[in-house]
Amino acid sequence: MSAATAELAEAALYYEQQQAGIGADFLKAVEAAVQTIQQNPEMWPVWQKPVRSFRLARFPFRLFYWELANIIQVVAVAHLSREPGYWQNRVR
């Protein structure tokens, strides 16, 4: 399991424990974000080259991603209150 996948699962579980159905809503929001990114990956700002970021609207999270051979790879599913840049060691 990648670190980003673990972050996604942890956040979804947290939200689900707060209120039934919110975890599923979070997962749907992330899935919709990835689909949006796939349509035009270069539309969102570069955070640290080659990584770009996409801010979720409803939840306080940002997806950090890069495009590899027309595949979007999410590097981090980062809560906005978490230490900025903690994920940067994942970029090689």
pTM here? 0.91
Residuewise pLDDT in 10s, the chain (92 residues)? 799 999 999 999 999 999 999 999 999 999 999 999 999 999 999 988 899 999 999 999 999 999 988 899 999 999 999 888 888 888 86
Number of domains making up the chain: 1
The CATH number of whichever domain residue 42 belongs to comes to 3.30.2310.20
From the CA atom positions of the chain, what is the Rg in Å? 13
Cis upstream peptide for 50 (omega within 30°): yes
| Domain that includes residue 68, residue range | 3-90
